[in-house]
Structure 1
Amino acid sequence: MALHRILVADDEESMRWVLSKALRKKGYTVELAADGNQALRMVREQSYDLAIVDIKMPGMTGLEFLDKARELRPDLLVVVMTAEASMKNAVEAMKRGAYDYITKPFDLEVVDAIIEKVGRARDVSNQVSLLKQELKDRYQVEKNIIGNSPAMQEVYKTIGKVAASDVTVLIQGESGTGKELIARAIHFNSTRLGKPFVAINCAAIPRDLLESELFGSERGAFTGSTERKTGKFEQANHGTIFLDEIGDMPLDLQAKILRVLQEQEITRIGGSQNIAVDVRVVAATNQELLEKVRNREFREDLFYRLNVVPLHLVPLRERREDIPALVEYFLERACAEMEVPAKQCSGEALELLCSHSWPGNVRELENTIKRAVILSGDPLLTPQDFNGLSERQATIHAAPQEQSLEALVEAKLRTAFFGIEKLEKGDIYDRVLEQVERPLIRYTLEKTRGNQVRTADILGINRNTLRKKITELGIQIKKD
């Protein structure tokens, strides 16, 4: 049930006592107010799932409270109590947005039934809201994942294979490669769409707080713990939890994560009850976990539990052919966010961006584009707008093992045609082929020291064809 915190407002102390005792016995956190003004102050300062209020109270009536409380908290559900079972009261309460109406005196079973109905209604409402948000997020995630390189195609295929199952996925990749985006894509393409996606960065939360963040805590579990806290695993029930930077998790907590994966249950700090959770786990790390296992910094049994389906995100420097598309996307988004006229990169600027090693990966590229959009007043960005990059190590002459010839040619073509919406009919094929043929024949002739018979043999073409190409392409033969 989705209800946790209930506010009871009634000027009769006996009624407050009876309701609080009964509701706390059911496990709810209950807070009490003796009049409408006090109840409204409490609603202003804290959030509640449900308010049960008497119509007649000194200072502010229950109906006045209803109006003002719903202005402050539109999602607050209010049940009105009254000793006067008149049609006028019932109609007025419902017109003002009360969820239900109880006539005093009443049996506690009536309250139980209403709270159960309220809980179901809130569950449905939460699920509808969550589904709407997740559909929106799914669109954003799919829009944000850019790249058609072979490496990204493999990632897409893996997402498609694992999304429908509940297998645990371990995403590994350098910082800035988009691990959380991929985790969300797995969730949004799974049968758990419409259920929670809960992310937690294990490196960003202090050690002494991480356990309570993950598993929750009972009231009084430690100093300052005045109410029950729901942990991330409970929040993700029936959905997906994303454990980012799991390589930084302390060893003792790793053992508890292993138990969750094995038993599908958690125990809140300070509690003794085992709570069943149905959660799909996706973990991520920028570290080499096997190395940490060898150094006894990460549990071997947990590693194999997490590494059911490994998914590796390659760094941006190993998929440079995706850079032009990423640049175009980030330019469009940055200009829209900052409400400035559209900007484009010149061919020289794009070539510089494609040549950079990008140690911070896609995140660094995005921030670089944002910075250039902010600082440049021109619609066309040039290499001068990326001075910081030109001062760093450029890798335009990438090692052969980093990029294939095909990838280099494709990246160059993307640079040449960047910003062209529609390619017109013309001689592109012949022009591109000519530019590839000329250096190929020239290079082979150099290697054979101008020996045309040997060159034709290496290229696999007829000698007469070679001679014709040499003439057409204007190639000068250098002989030793």
Structure 2
Amino acid sequence: MLDFKIFIVEDDKWYGGLLHHYLSQNPDYDVTLFGTGKECLAQLHRKPDLVTIDFGLPDMTGEELYGKIKQAYPNLPVIIISAQERITTAVNLLKMGAEDYLIKDENTQQLLWRAIIRLREKQSLHNEISELKAELKTKYDYSHSIIGKSPALQAVFKLIDKAAGSLINVSIAGETGTGKELVARAVHYNSSRSGHPFIPVNMAAIPKDLVESELFGYEKGAFTGALNRKSGRFEEAGSGTLFLDEIGEMDLNIQSKLLRVLQEKELTRLGGTSKIKLDFRLVVATHKNLSEEVKKGNFREDLYYRIVGLPINLPPLRERREDILLITQHFLTAYCKENKIPEVRVSPAAREKLLDYSYPGNVRELKSVVELAAVMSENNIIEPEDITFLSGNSQNVDAVLNTELTLREYTRLIIRNYLKRYDDNVLLVAEKLDIGKSTIYKMLQTGEIEGA
């Protein structure tokens, strides 16, 4: 699910499209492009997490738009992007509270990416500290977040307990939507390192040209735009846990450097010479079969044996059908509480329909199905007709195929469906459909298809 909403205000359609495409590489970013300040102001009720402003707009100056935004939402972060280096203007805007002031050049995209990362780190710092303190008060009870009583899931619980009782590396395998990060958090918060940070990194969400600096950090002046020293994710983990999600997407060159870090327990920041000692625990996850990736030459064999540690394989939801109704009730209760509505129940016929489906999107898909059914229900009772399976079924497929569409229209329909199913993970969708990722990026950039 997209969880960081970015508004880009840029009257140059080509440049705005470039920024939109670049930021949209992160599946967590929900990016919207506006051509004028008025269009942006009219949509502020959608409560973006960040607004970037082109200083030279056709209907108002960047300063005017900035002032209107801050008047309506004083705490909304704003980054100014200007085609000219106006020192006085930049200083004044920064004094007024602008998050950053960037000059349009060949480095703007990377500088903007890093500025957003810094902003998110700053915004989440207080929340993370509060959450960590709350989690440390009692043992992390993962049964509240990983729902189920099936034998397959009970076996996973036993492995979590074994992993939490040791410092061995852990590798988590499972299809998309099975809850790999939940398991990683359960291992961490029940281990002796629970008082230290849990640092999640989604390897599929970071552009390849930024992976090294994100993991290793960099020194001031290491490259154009490196205005200050920055610690990487290895350092941030400290004596806690580093969770590398979708490690199967890691480039072979970075795999080699990760192996050296794990072997030597130290690193050197980009542009630096000093050795920095490390003491983190590694937990990795992937939807791929890493042993098969080794055979294909896509993953280093020596790194594979270094990280595999204690393997935990998460069963897909279709293999633990006895948990479907338990999970359904869990999501319904949470949904009703969040929306402050009376309890919603599931009719016997609707239960049968839920049990008869295979859930290719696993628990994540079930959550979407249940919440949509709650919205569609009448009299607080979910009936079969309220349930829509987002991944489709044979009846839906037949209905689509009986509709006369062009090949291009079918292609758009399929890609849009897969993007929804896999939370806008373009790399994963490209792999599933066996098409080039550039095809998907281009269709997203042109607006031919929209992300989930």
**What TM-score do you get using the length of structure 1 for normalisation?**
0.55
Partner of 1:366, secondary structure, is helix
Q: Aligned equivalents of 2:175 and 2:273: distance in 1?
A: 39
The superposition leaves residues 281-309 of structure 1 with CA deviations (integer Å, 9 ceiling, x where unpaired) of: 00000001111101100000011111111
Name 2:168's counterpart in structure 1. Answer: 167
Is the CA contact 2:219–2:230 (under 8 Å) kept in the aligned structure 1? Answer: yes
Closer, same or farther: CA 242–136 of 1 in aligned 2, 3 Å = farther
Equivalence for 1:320: 321
Q: Which runs of no fewer than 5 residues in structure 1 stay unpaired?
A: 1-37, 48-75, 77-124, 395-480
Q: 1:43 to 1:239 in 2, by over 3 A?
A: farther
**2:310 corresponds to which residue?**
309
Distance 1:128 1:384 in 2: 44
| Correspondences of 1:62-73 after superposition (within 5 Å) | none
- Segment drifting more, 291-300 vs 368-377: 368-377
Distance 1:127 1:345 in 2: 36
2:234·2:242 contact (CA, 8 Å) conserved in 1? Answer: yes
Which structure has the larger Rg? 1
CA contact (8 A) 2:360 2:391 kept: no
Give the aligned partner of residue 376 of structure 2: 375
Q: Which letter maps to 2:340?
A: E
Q: 1:243 maps to what in 2?
A: 244
Structure 1 residues 164, 178: CA separation in 2 closer, same or farther (over 3 Å shift)? Answer: same
- In 1, Cα distance between the equivalents of 2:162 and 2:391? 41
Say whether the 8 Å CA contact 2:361–2:391 is kept in structure 1.
no
2:280 is aligned with what amino acid?
Answer: V
SS at structure 2 position matched to 1:350: helix
1:330-370 Cα shifts (integer Å, max 9, x gaps): 01111112222210111111111111000000000001111
| Fraction of identical pairs, as percent | 50
Partner amino acid, structure 2, of 1:226: L
Q: 2:386 corresponds to which letter in structure 1?
A: D
Q: Which amino acid aligns with 2:244?
A: L
- 1:198 is aligned to 2:199: yes
Query: How many Å apart are 1:137 and its aligned residue?
Result: 10
Unpaired runs of at least 5, structure 2? 1-90, 101-121, 396-452
SS in structure 2 opposite 1:203?
helix
Aligned partner of residue 282 in structure 2, secondary structure: strand
- Counterpart of 2:221 in structure 1 is 220
1: CA distance, partners of 2:94 / 2:305: 52
User: What is the aligned partner in structure 2 of residue 333 from structure 1?
Assistant: 334
CA distance in 2, matches of 1:129, 1:335: 25
Deviation readout 1:41-67 (Å, 9 max, x if unpaired): 6695579xxxxxxxxxxxxxxxxxxxx
Match of 2:267 in 1: 266
Following TM superposition, by how much is the alpha carbon of 1:388 offset from its aligned partner in structure 2, in angstroms? Answer: 3.8
**In structure 2, how many angstroms separate the alpha carbons of the residues matched to 1:350 and 1:210?**
44
The answer (yes or no) to whether the contact 2:173–2:312 under 8 Å persists in 1 is: yes
Q: What is the CA-CA distance between 1:39 and the residue it aligns to?
A: 12
Shift of 1:248: 0.3
Superposed CA deviations along residues 380-425 of structure 1, whole A, max 9, x for unmatched, are 101000144796159xxxxxxxxxxxxxxxxxxxxxxxxxxxxxxx
Paired AA for residue 336 in structure 1: K
Residues 379 and 138 (structure 1), Cα distance of their counterparts in 2 relative to 1, 3 Å cut: farther
Cα deviation for residue 142 of structure 1 reads 3.9
Deviation (angstroms), 1:140: 7.4
Alignment of 1:449-460 (within 5 A): none
> 1 CA distance for matches of 2:247 and 2:286?
6
| CA displacement at 1:131 relative to structure 2 | 3.9
| 1:298 has 2:308 as partner | no
The letter for the 2-side match of 1:370 is E
Letter in structure 2 aligned against 1:192:
R
Residue 130 of structure 1, CA deviation: 6.5
The residue number in structure 1 matching 2:185 is: 184
Task: Give the distance between the partners of 1:327 and 1:359, measured in 2 at CA.
Answer: 16
- Residue identity opposite 1:375 in structure 2: M
Asked if structure 2 preserves the Cα contact closer than 8 Å seen for 1:146 and 1:322, the reply is: yes
For 1:354 and 1:184, the matched residues in 2 are separated by 29
Q: CA deviation at 1:324?
A: 1.0
Q: CA deviation at 1:267?
A: 1.3
- The alpha-carbon deviation at position 126 of structure 1 amounts to 11
1:229 matched to which residue of 2? Answer: 230
TM-score, scaled relative to structure 2: 0.58
CA contact (8 A) 1:176 1:361 kept: yes
Per the TM alignment, residue 377 of structure 1 is displaced from its structure 2 partner at its CA by 3.4
Q: Which residue of 2 aligns with 1:288?
A: 289
Cα distance, 1:373 vs structure 2: 1.5
CA contact (8 A) 1:138 1:184 kept: no
Q: Distance in 2 between matches of 1:299 and 1:351?
A: 45
The answer (yes or no) to whether the contact 1:172–1:179 under 8 Å persists in 2 is: yes
Q: 1:73 is matched with which residue?
A: none
Matching residue of 2:155:
154
Q: 1:231 is matched by which residue type in structure 2?
A: G
Counterpart amino acid of residue 339 in structure 2:
M
Task: Answer whether contact 1:127 1:194 (CA < 8 A) is retained.
Answer: no
